[in-house]
Amino acid sequence: MGRPRTYVTDAIVLSRFDLGEADRVLTLITPRDGKLKAIAKGVRRPTSRIGGSLEPFAELRVALARGRTFDVVTQVTVGHAWLALRDSLESAATAWYLAELADRSLEERHEAEPLYGLLHRAYELLDAGMAPGRVARWYEMHLADELGVRPEVDRCVECDRMLEATEAFRWVPTLGGVLCGRHPGPPASVAGLSVEALRLLKAYQRLDVEALAGLRLAPSVEAEVETALRDFVRVALERESRSLAFLDEVRAGHPV
């Protein structure tokens, strides 16, 4: 017996593009089937029954028919709309960034339950009003875990010595984490990491999100950790993120 011709799954839209007169191709993340591309036919017509439901930043329940190139969307209902997430441009831009990271982390048609759960939780947190930067850092740290590249924040990546708060160290994503002061030489361009930033990186690894949301932090330390984790994830995914540029412009107050 072959696979059933139709199936139903939870899904979140990661990206989409228009095709032809009225169709749209969606990249979906699903728990069991991982990332997949599906075509929604005629959804850009005002009369479409499903067009309005196929939005990003929502958990959808999607019925699909297997097709030759793309599976075909036959029915959609909205499970969680996470409407408050769209109220702020920064949280919406962050949601795009997180979706793009998930997209680039996944091969098509590989089981993706942990990453699906991570994105789902991040969207819930954005919707609940948690600071987008903290949601993004929490997500990046856990995404690195899922990619099998948990950042080293306790021991030196070179000599394996436990780091002490009194010494100088550097953050070297290409080496997988923190490098202690005993290793001169390249990469000389890498900036030092403050002990406060190191402490916050550890917090992102260890604390639950409720505790992270409540931390009182100096903006300079948050900025340092933002750079550190973005760099880390960029190295892990080996490619610059397109949506980060957009997010930066939004936060600089110059929405494109």
As measured in angstroms, the least distance from the Cβ of 197 to Zn ion is 18
Nearer to Zn ion among residue 61 and residue 155 (C-beta)? 155
**Which of 156, 198, 236, 250: binder of Zn ion (CB under 5 A)?**
156
- DSSP type of residue 254: -
Nearer to Zn ion among residue 132 and residue 151 (C-beta)? 151
Contacts of 143 (CB under 8 A, 6+ apart): 101, 102, 105, 115, 118, 233
As measured in angstroms, the least distance from the Cβ of 48 to Zn ion is 59
Nearest to 222 by CA among 185, 180, 251, 245: 251
Nearer to Zn ion among residue 158 and residue 231 (C-beta)? 158
d(CA 205, CA 154): 11
As measured in angstroms, the least distance from the Cβ of 176 to Zn ion is 13
Tokens of 217: 């932090």
As measured in angstroms, the least distance from the Cβ of 161 to Zn ion is 5
As measured in angstroms, the least distance from the Cβ of 168 to Zn ion is 11
Residues 105-134 that bind Zn ion (CB under 5 A): none
Nearest to 226 by CA among 129, 140, 131: 140
Cβ atoms within 10 A of the Cβ of 65, count? 14
Using rule CB under 5 A, residue 158 touches Zn ion: yes
Compute the C-alpha angle 60/136/219, nearest 5°. Answer: 150
3-state secondary structure of 222: helix
Nearer to Zn ion among residue 47 and residue 166 (C-beta)? 166
d(CA 172, CA 232): 8
Stretch that binds Zn ion, among 45-53, 85-93, 173-181, 197-205 (CB under 5 A): 173-181
Stretch that binds Zn ion, among 19-27, 34-42, 71-79, 174-182 (CB under 5 A): 174-182
- Is the bond leading into 184 cis (omega within 30 degrees of zero)? no
Nearer to Zn ion among residue 73 and residue 198 (C-beta)? 198
Using rule CB under 5 A, residue 154 touches Zn ion: no
Nearer to Zn ion among residue 49 and residue 182 (C-beta)? 182
Nearer to Zn ion among residue 18 and residue 164 (C-beta)? 164
Using rule CB under 5 A, residue 159 touches Zn ion: yes
**Which of 180, 200, 228, 247: binder of Zn ion (CB under 5 A)?**
180
d(CA 44, CA 18): 8
As measured in angstroms, the least distance from the Cβ of 185 to Zn ion is 12
**Using alpha carbons only, how large is the chain's radius of gyration in Å?**
20
Any alpha helices (H) in the chain, and if so which ranges?
Answer: 89-105, 113-127, 132-146, 195-206, 209-214, 219-237, 242-251
**How many amino acids of this chain bind Zn ion (CB under 5 A)?**
5
Binding positions for Zn ion, rule: CB under 5 A: 156, 158-159, 180, 182
